[in-house]
Amino acid sequence: MTPTLPTRATAAPRLVVCAPLPIEARALRRALDPLLGADAVLRTGFLSRRNARCIEELLPEREFDAFAVAGLGGGVGDGVASGDVVVASEVRGADRTVPCPSAPLLAGQLRRAGFTVHCGPLATRDHVVHGDEYGELARTGVLAVDMESSRLACAARDRPLAAVRVIVDTPDEPLADWGTPRRGLHALRLLSELGPVLAGWAAAVGPRQALLPAPRSFCAGVDRAIEIVEEALARHGPPVYVRKQIVHNTHVVADLQRRGAVFVDELDEVPPGALTVFSAHGVSPAVRAEAERGQLDVVDATCPLVTKVHVEARRYTREEGTVLFIGHDGHEETEGTLGEAPGRIALVETVEDAQRVTVPDPERVSYLMQTTLSVEESTEIVAALRKRFPALRGPRTDDICYATTNRQAALRAVAERADLVLVVGSANSSNSQRLVETARRCGARAHLVDDAFDVDLDWLVEARTVGVTAGASAPPALVDEVLAALGGLGPLDVHEHRIATESIRFSLPKEVS
């Protein structure tokens, strides 16, 4: 059994917000006093090492659950402009760096509220930065600079910490500039407007437990497809063209793009003779023929389990029967399989489709499935088809791949115990969407998130137990980032529930092996 975490008091978490300058404190109080009371905002003044220690001694006398530093600052990083908001992923001082692990949650909430937000390191200096210092800081990855946060951050004393700066000056718009008063007034208005989001961040603070179904994240087919593109880039150098997304995950695609992969929707975008990779979802014979006409150097990254479905489609249609393909319209796997025998394979998406589909000969009908379907949904559809077509034939083994089945079963084992389930995966990932549906069938609140920035703080306010899993196309590191962000809101007890160990590995095609 998993241990029960201590429950938080019914009162809302108490937030202390440190604002260095009087004008910053006034801007924050306009927003926060009605929400948190008149003592939530603490004006610190300009900080020397000495009076920073005084503040650290003062704060323990106040009861608080979360600690934030907010005010105006200077933009350093490329693309950071005046009026933007920087949420610190860490605060760097002269002698220490203090992490802010919940920063992606706060940054994402601010973006959804309409702010232009950057998330990354914030540096503290004891003087106004100017000239070459901007570039020196930018080269270390710093996005913004201030004169207080590092000295204040240690006062949080292991409580959840946030550091937020609204940008006034940048290398192109220095403080000694005629436009500074106008930019400053605009930044103060934005500072006041972000106050309610800070209060929402504090409302989500508290201890939690995280339940991790296993297996989760990458499957063998996804691992193989990504490795194929990586090997192609290593052997041949960029560009390597990839038809469609190699797997359905925005982070994987963006990473490969940075390394030289070029993703195209159709082959007419590929130069003649270029090295081209077919995605893990498979392609139709018509696409293969087009590649031959373009004399493209093709490497096929189709998942072997998808290839199995294509082979079955060819076998069934050769026997002159009708094939009913259970899948989702528009998905690349569906398009590729339907293309094996246009006009001979009919798409069935729902139980309602199964109840009204017609075939020329009810005695000669077969079915196949998309590999990433929900087990429950596909079972219902097959049952409806069998009721109408008693002679219905199916594959000797289930077309739904082992990885999809395992991830859904593992999630069912924990979803009923969770107040909230977060499924890490991209919106166009079928297997990730099916995991959300699986959790909801178990009665859980469930949401699909691309990464920690997508997690809405409002979901977490009453969620003491959170299930976290990932679709087969989502990198494991994204789950780790979500857990780190949740841990930034308070103590996090993590428990893994494993139902299977996956040891399958698919060999690479000869072109890259």
Contacts of residue 340, defined as CB under 8 A and 6 or more positions apart, other chains included, come to 284, 285, 310, 313, 314, 317
Which structure tokens are listed for 42? 């603490």
Contacts of residue 241, defined as CB under 8 A and 6 or more positions apart, other chains included, come to 261, 262, 263, 264, 269, 270, 274, 275, 276, 277, 296
> DSSP letters of 179-233?
THHHHHHHHHHHHHHTHHHHHHHHHT-S-EEEEEEES-S--HHHHHHHHHHHHHH
Which structure tokens are listed for 419? 């107040």
HSE-CB of 347 using CA atoms within 13 angstroms: 16
Contacts of residue 344, defined as CB under 8 A and 6 or more positions apart, other chains included, come to 317, 322, 323
| Integer angstrom CA distances of residue 101 from 94, 119, 123, 215, 499 | 20, 11, 16, 25, 30
Residue whose tokens read 């130069």: 271
End-to-end CA distance of the chain: 45
Catalytic residues: 333
Please choose, from the candidates 335, 330, 337, the residue with its C-alpha nearest in 3D space to the C-alpha of residue 308: 337
Contacts of residue 455, defined as CB under 8 A and 6 or more positions apart, other chains included, come to 104, 105, 108, 422, 447, 449, 482, 485, 486
Report how far residue 469's alpha carbon sits from residue 421's, in angstroms, rounded to the nearest whole number.
8
Report how far residue 134's alpha carbon sits from residue 422's, in angstroms, rounded to the nearest whole number.
39
